[in-house]
Amino acid sequence: MDSMNHDHMHGMNNEPGSGGSTMNHHHHMMMHMTFFWGKNAEILFSGWPGARTAMYVLALIVVFLLGFLVELISHSKLIKPGSTHLAAGLVQTLLHALRVGLAYLVMLAVMSFNGGVFLAAVAGHTLGFFLFGSRVFKKSPVPPAPDGKPSHLPPMAMSC
């Protein structure tokens, strides 16, 4: 009975030969639990981007675009006036599912704990909000917050 593993986190022990150490035996890359700087990271997929600088830059661009798309979808108005409730509901639901999926991908990328990935995600969300959510390109006045008081930011709707 003593040899039974009673951990609820199977494969997460650091004993030699357990297969659950913080070293990935196939790629020999560290799994970081604190922020780090460097191009040798694993983001979203096993072995990607690896140790190549060009692939790391591509990964940063992908994370930036994911954050940007979350903001684009969050501030899009694709439902046409006069749409049926069913059609409008389906479009809203599909957009919500897409936004949540993209937001979770950004979250998982940031969980790589790579500083560059974190900055790319924040930059993508920031530029997306600037272009689609801020007052810069809006002609109509900004409506007050639900409590009637003026607000500098729209309410934060957490979809994750």
Share the mean pLDDT of the chain: 79
Instruction: Say if residue 126's pLDDT is above 90.
Output: yes
Indicate the residue type of 91: V
Instruction: Say if residue 158's pLDDT is above 60.
Output: no
Domain ranges of the chain: 52-137
Residue 50 carries which DSSP code? E
User: For the whole model, what pTM was predicted?
Assistant: 0.71
CA distances in angstroms from 69 to 37, 66, 73, 76, 121, listed in the order given: 25, 5, 6, 10, 11
Please choose, from the candidates 41, 16, 17, the residue with its C-alpha nearest in 3D space to the C-alpha of residue 31: 41
- Asked if residue 133 lies in contact with residue 76, where contact means CB atoms within 8 angstroms, the answer is no
